[in-house]
Amino acid sequence: MSFVGKVWAILVGIKDGLVLAFMLLFFVMLFGILSARPNPGQVREGALLVDLSGFVVEEKSSLDPIQAILSRSAPVEETRARDVVRALDTAASDKRIKAVVLDLTTFLGGGQVHLKEIGAAMDRVRQARKPVLTYGKGYADDHMLIAAHASEVWLDPIGVAVISGPGRNNLYFAGLLEKLSVNARVYRVGEYKAAVEPWSRTGMTDEARANIGGLYGALWEEYKANVSRARPRLQLARVTGDPAAWIASSGGDMAEAARAAGMVDKLGDKAQFGARVAELAGKDPWSEKPGSYAASDLTAYLADIGQPQAGKKIGVVTIAGEIVDGDAGPGIAGGTRIADLLDEALDDDLAGLVVRVDSPGGSVTASEEIRRAIQRYRDRGIPVAASMANMAASGGYWVSTPAERIFAEPETVTGSIGVFAVVPTFEQTAARLGVTSDGYRSTPLSGQPDFIGGFTPAMDTLMQTTIAGTYKDFLSLVSKARRMPVERVDAIAQGQVWDGGTARQNGLVDAFGGLPEALAWTAQKAGAREGEWHAVYLGERGGDYDSLIRRLVTSEGGARAPAISNGDLFAMAATRSESLGARLARDVERLLGTRGVQAFCVECPGRPAVVQPPAGRPEGMLALLAWLATN
């Protein structure tokens, strides 16, 4: 190589090294920015602005900053219910806060328990003689659970407000599977375990309809009582009894119909609403934009007020979303991740533990992994309570069994003590295509499971026996935890779902109350007096960079998170239609995915979207058999 070539090679190497160094420096700086805490210096005198974009949740889903930036899109926004409640309770006595504003323009909904908690916190702000205002372009059931507690409810003049009540239709695939010659092999225990019905029937059984009807009826009664008590002038019977006549009475003007029925107080656009808030909380000295007012947003306010740190530590482990095997989450309850959090905290000198559950259940093996980790606290003499949020059904109840005391709300959905598995085989499909299966077996289980040739009778029996054994284990756990005879547990199990009130009556729940009540009880059991303890949330991230990532993504022309365009009924209908594809994909994935034995409440209202667990060797006998057949 010539001298010039050698020099050129050296220069290219230096250039490549500098590029790598600058890239490394860039990503280090980016990580530092994204990991930074919100700036508490942004809080100022005026209104507290709570922008409830997206969903109100128990635990926010994890957000990969690099993936979001590279894909130039952000997932649906989420807000923790307890963050909103904490901010509202602090604002009630904070002299800097003159009013509270909840922007529901892009609010998508939340669980009935969470929304009731936020409503109660709004009541406490109003009791401190501070106005609470909401604004939206559309109000539906979940919106009204919050708005009913406001002192002023504003609706855009071209907006809509409707209350439809609980209820939904499931998709049933038995007819489609028959046409495709797919054999959905259903294994279950529980007369009311309706989770498998979509694969074996074309409609709901009478038993499932009666059970779900009782649940929805109880939730609807709680909803009506909550909204009517908070907003007596709301003509709920008129709005829900004959909606067509109600709308026609206002000449088809849905916004005016909502005002006339007491659903909202005032009609106005965002600028008019902002002018009203400015009258109450003060004008924004830094902006002349129409509708601006002095305000501090939720993130900055939470950073400013901080968290209590004095006294004994009461740990809180959150089990939110579907329970799956592995390290998934937050927002999904990965069994290994949660068990590791619990085991790591065993040496953190916790005085007590509260298990906060907001889950429809899922994998039996993951549920048992979490239950064992919680039981290790009981074995050390540490007091343990369970606090049920919107749902603690099936596997969600399984993980609650180690608790000494179980708290739930009347609107909590729990029970669903039953297990199932669905395994598709394709022998009929293959035969239609001219494909057959044959071979030699030394035992009845040789070559099984065979998804093309079908299962042998011995294989079918083994599958059902596994399900029956798991159900027996479930009953035994509940029997021991609740001090009930197994026969009594079996009578209230069988896959039946219960509202919190009925669950308390039949002994599955000890007392009504939310997370504060569960924490107070646990602290008392630990010997800590009021003011001498604080909650420690296991696995909680120190910083919240979610909003910063969203600003980075959207400022570069990326896609915003999908949000409901709730300006009229047609937009609402379009949003429902767009979710149909996601429902289909979720249901098909549930049939074809190798998930093992499931303690999952598919029929529970407001179930979360299915998230694929991490790849790898699955746990659970059924999942293991399927994995062995395909590897």
User: Residues with Cβ < 8 Å from 188, sequence gap 6 or more?
Assistant: 195, 196, 418, 419, 420, 421, 467, 495
User: Residue 299's closest CA among 489, 466, 78?
Assistant: 78
* pLDDT score recorded for residue 558: 46
Active-site residue set: 193, 394
User: In this predicted structure, what is the pLDDT of residue 590?
Assistant: 63
pLDDT at 30: 58
Residue 571 clears pLDDT 80, i.e. is over it:
no
> Which amino acid is present at 355?
V
What integer is the mean pLDDT of 416-435?
86
Reply yes or no on whether the pLDDT at 583 is more than 70: no
pLDDT digits (tens, 9 = 90+) for 6-37: 667 777 778 777 777 776 676 556 555 554 44
Q: What is the pLDDT of residue 340?
A: 96
pLDDT digits (tens, 9 = 90+) for 359-391: 999 999 999 999 999 999 999 999 999 999 999
d(CA 272, CA 522): 48
**Distance (Å, whole) CA 321 – CA 604:** 12
Write down the CATH superfamily of domain 312-537. 2-enoyl-CoA Hydratase; Chain A, domain 1 (3.90.226.10)
The string of pLDDT tens digits covering residues 62-90 is 776 666 666 566 677 899 999 999 999 99
| Nearest C-alpha neighbor of 274 from the set 287, 292, 262 | 292
pLDDT > 60? residue 622: no
Q: Which residues pair with 359 in a beta bridge?
A: 392
Q: What is the pLDDT of residue 629?
A: 42
Q: Which of 189-193, 295-299, 489-493, 498-502 has the lowest mean pLDDT?
A: 189-193
| 497-499/413-415 β-pairing | antiparallel
Higher pLDDT, 449 or 619: 449
The distance of Cα 83 from the centroid of its chain, to the nearest Å, equals 15
Predicted local distance difference test score (pLDDT) of residue 613: 38
CA distance 602 to 391: 12
Q: Which CATH class is domain 40-163+231-305?
A: alpha beta
pLDDT at 626: 45
Q: Calculate ∠ Cα 26-32-36, nearest 5°.
A: 150
Q: Output the average pLDDT for the chain.
A: 84
Q: List where CATH 3.90.226.10 sits in the chain.
A: 40-163+231-305, 312-537
439 versus 244: which is more confidently predicted?
Answer: 244
The residue that leads in pLDDT, 615 or 407, is 407
CA pseudo-torsion sign 289, 292, 295, 300? negative
Which pLDDT value is given to residue 88? 98
CA distances (Å), origin 9, targets 12, 23, 362, 440: 5, 21, 58, 65
